[in-house]
Amino acid sequence: MSNPLPGSPFLAYRDAQLHLEQVRLQDLAQQHGTPLFVYSKAAMLAALAAYQRAFQGRRARIHYAMKANSSLGVLQVFAQAGCGFDIVSLGELQRVLAAGGEASKVIFSGVGKSRAEMQQALQAGIACFNVESEPELDVLSSVAVSCGLVAPVSIRVNPNVDPKTHPYISTGLKGNKFGIAHDRTLQAYQHAASLPGLNVVGIDCHIGSQITTSEPYMDALDRVLDLVEHIEAAGIPIHHLDFGGGLGINYNGDTPPAADALWAQLLARLDARGFGDRQIMIEPGRSLVGNAGVCLTEVQFIKPGEQKNFCIVDAAMNDLPRPAMYEAFHQIVPLHTQAGDSVVYDVVGPVCESGDWLGRDRALQVQAGDLLAVLSAGAYCMSMSSNYNTRGRAAEVLVDGASTHVIRQRETVQDQMRGEHLVK
Ligand code: LLP
C-alpha cells in the first residue's frame, strides 16, 4: 500500500484481508467475538528494540510505563525482555509481580501516593520513588523510618517546557499539577538530603505525551542538566537521570522521531555536557504498545440521518475512551476490503451519550455485520476502559507469529456484579 497503516509492517492487508503478523483478524473476531483487542508481540518487541539500540553500550534502563496497557500478558512480554516498569499505584506493582517482573526494577511515579502504597512499595524493594512535592518527601521519609528502611528517591522536576500536545496530556508546564517547580528544585533536594528516611539517587522529568518533535525533549534535557549542575555543586550527587516517556506515535500521518534517532540526539547532548556516564532511565508507554494493538468491532446497524450517516458498531467509549476524552483520532479500516462506493459516516458506539463516537466523517464501504478495526489501540484504550452502561470489558488476544493467546477473557456481568450487595 502506498500509505502504510499505523502498525505496519506487522499490520497489513494480504488478499484483501487484514492480518496482524500471520493471523487473519477476521478469524479472531469470529472465534472470540467483538469488541476484541488484538496485540502483536513482534510489534511491541520491535518498538522496544529501537530504544535498546539507542542505549547499546550505555548504562540505561527502560521502564515500561504500564498505565498505557497494564494487561498481564502485555507486561509479561516486557518483563521477559528485561524491562523495568514505571508504576503509579500499588495495584500496578501487584500486576508487575503477577506478570513475573522484578520489584527491584520498578520506579513509582504519581502526585498522590498514599502511606500504605509507600510502605508496601518500600517493603517490596522498588528501585526508586519519583517524588512530586515537598510534603511527599516528608511523608515518605517518615514511612521509611517507621519500617526501618531507607527510600531511594528522585525528585520530579517540572522544567516548564511546552511539549505542544493536547492540554490534557501536557505535564511539564508551570500550570500543571506535576513535579516541583524549576526554581524550587535545589531547596527540595537539600530538604530530601536532610531527611533520615531518604536516599537521594536521581532526578526525573516527564513533559507530556504524544510528543511528535524532538525540540521539547532537547529543551527539557538542558533544563534538567542545569539543575543537576546546581544540585551537585551543593554537594548532593545525582546518580541517575530519568527523562520520562512521552514519545508520540503515528495515529494519522503523525511523524514523531524514531526512538533511536531521538535518543542519538539526546545522548550526544548528554555527552557534550559531560553527563554521558550517568545511569539513564526512561519511562515510555504509548510508543511501546500503541501501534502494536487494534480493536476489532462489528457493525450493528447503518443509520442514515438528516445531517449525518451513522455507522453503529459494538465497540464504544467505554472500550476506547480516547476520542470522547481528547477528541483523539484513530484510523478505522475494514477487516476485508471490497470494491464499491464508500459513504461518509460517524462511527459511533451503543453507549447512551452523544460523546460516544470513535471516528467522525469516515468514508467507509460497510453494511451491518461487517467487521472493522480501530487502529493504534494498544495504548490507553483497554487500560482506560470502564464498565459504563454495564458493558463488560472486551477480550484481549496476543498474536505471536502464527499463534494466538487469549490474555484476557471477555468480562461477564457476573464479573461486574461481584462484590456488590443488596441491602438485607
Ligand atoms: N511517565 C510518567 C510520569 C507519565 O505521567 C506518563 C504518562 C508516562 C511516563 C508515559 O508516557 P507515554 O510514553 O505513554 O507518552 N491517556 C492519555 C495519555 C496520558 C499520559 C499520562 N502520563 C492518552 O490516551 O493520550
- Please report, for the domain that includes residue 191, its CATH number: 3.20.20.10
In a domain, 250, yes or no: yes
pLDDT (0 to 100) of residue 270 = 98
- Is 280 in the same domain as 170? yes
Domain that holds residue 365: 2-40+290-417
Q: Which of helix, strand or coil describes residue 187? A: helix
- Is 258 in the same domain as 328? no
In a domain, 53, yes or no: no
User: What is the 246 CA–ligand 1 centroid distance (Å)?
Assistant: 6
Looking at the CA of residue 288, tell me the nearest atom of ligand 1: 13
> Rounded to 10 degrees, what is the CA torsion of 279, 285, 288, 294?
170
Looking at the CA of residue 211, tell me the nearest atom of ligand 1: 15
pTM exceeds 0.75 for this model:
yes
- Is 113 in the same domain as 259? yes
Looking at the CA of residue 166, tell me the nearest atom of ligand 1: 25
Which residue, 234, 254, 284, sits at the end of a domain? 284
Looking at the CA of residue 68, tell me the nearest atom of ligand 1: 14
**C-alpha dist (Å) from residue 366 to 312, 319, 341, 384, 395:** 11, 21, 9, 28, 24
The Cα–Cα gap between 167 and 157 comes to 19
- Is 173 in the same domain as 259? yes
The Cα diameter of the chain in Å comes to 72
Q: What are phi and psi of 229, to 5 degrees?
A: -60, -45
CA neighbor of 398 nearest in space, from 11, 85, 20: 20
- Is 405 in the same domain as 350? yes
In a domain, 95, yes or no: no
User: What is the 263 CA–ligand 1 centroid distance (Å)?
Assistant: 18
In a domain, 411, yes or no: yes
pLDDT (0 to 100) of residue 178 = 84
User: What is the 120 CA–ligand 1 centroid distance (Å)?
Assistant: 24
- Is 229 in the same domain as 313? no
In a domain, 28, yes or no: yes
- For a substitution probing ligand 1, which of 67, 85, 133, 168 has the most ligand atoms within 8 Å of its CB? 67
Does residue 352 carry a catalytic annotation? yes
User: What is the 169 CA–ligand 1 centroid distance (Å)?
Assistant: 7
- Is 258 in the same domain as 315? no
pLDDT (0 to 100) of residue 177 = 82
Which residue, 249, 268, 284, sits at the end of a domain? 284
- The HSE-up count of residue 253 (CA atoms within 13 Å, CB side) is 2
**Burial (0-12, 13-18, 19+ Cβ within 10 Å), 349:** buried
In a domain, 69, yes or no: no
Which regions in the chain score pLDDT beneath 70? Answer: 1-3, 168-173
CATH number of the domain at 399, please. 2.40.37.10
pLDDT (0 to 100) of residue 168 = 67
User: What is the 338 CA–ligand 1 centroid distance (Å)?
Assistant: 37
Cβ-defined contacts of 23-28 (< 8 Å, 24+) = 23/399, 23/402, 23/404, 25/294, 25/296, 25/335, 25/371, 25/373, 26/335, 26/336, 26/371, 28/296, 28/397, 28/404
- Is 247 in the same domain as 371? no
- Return the residue whose CA atom lies nearest to atom 23 of ligand 1: 380
Counting the structural domains of the chain, the total is 2
Residues near ligand 1 with C-beta < 6 Å? 65, 68, 86, 109, 169, 171, 206, 209-210, 244-247, 283-287, 322, 326, 380, 384
User: What is the 68 CA–ligand 1 centroid distance (Å)?
Assistant: 7
- For a substitution probing ligand 1, which of 74, 86, 206 has the most ligand atoms within 8 Å of its CB? 206
- Is 348 in the same domain as 265? no
User: What is the 210 CA–ligand 1 centroid distance (Å)?
Assistant: 8
Residue 402: count of CB within 10 angstroms of its CB: 8
- Return the residue whose CA atom lies nearest to atom 8 of ligand 1: 245
| Marked catalytic residue, from 147, 295, 352, 381 | 352
- For a substitution probing ligand 1, which of 48, 74, 283 has the most ligand atoms within 8 Å of its CB? 283
- Is 297 in the same domain as 194? no
What kind and span of H or E run contains 291?
none
- For a substitution probing ligand 1, which of 180, 209, 380, 382 has the most ligand atoms within 8 Å of its CB? 209
Which residue, 284, 307, 337, sits at the end of a domain? 284
Q: Which residues pair with 372 in a beta bridge?
A: 297, 334
Q: What radius of gyration, in Å, describes the C-alpha atoms of the chain? A: 23
- Is 378 in the same domain as 250? no
In a domain, 94, yes or no: no
- Is 155 in the same domain as 298? no
In a domain, 71, yes or no: no
The Cα–Cα gap between 315 and 104 comes to 38
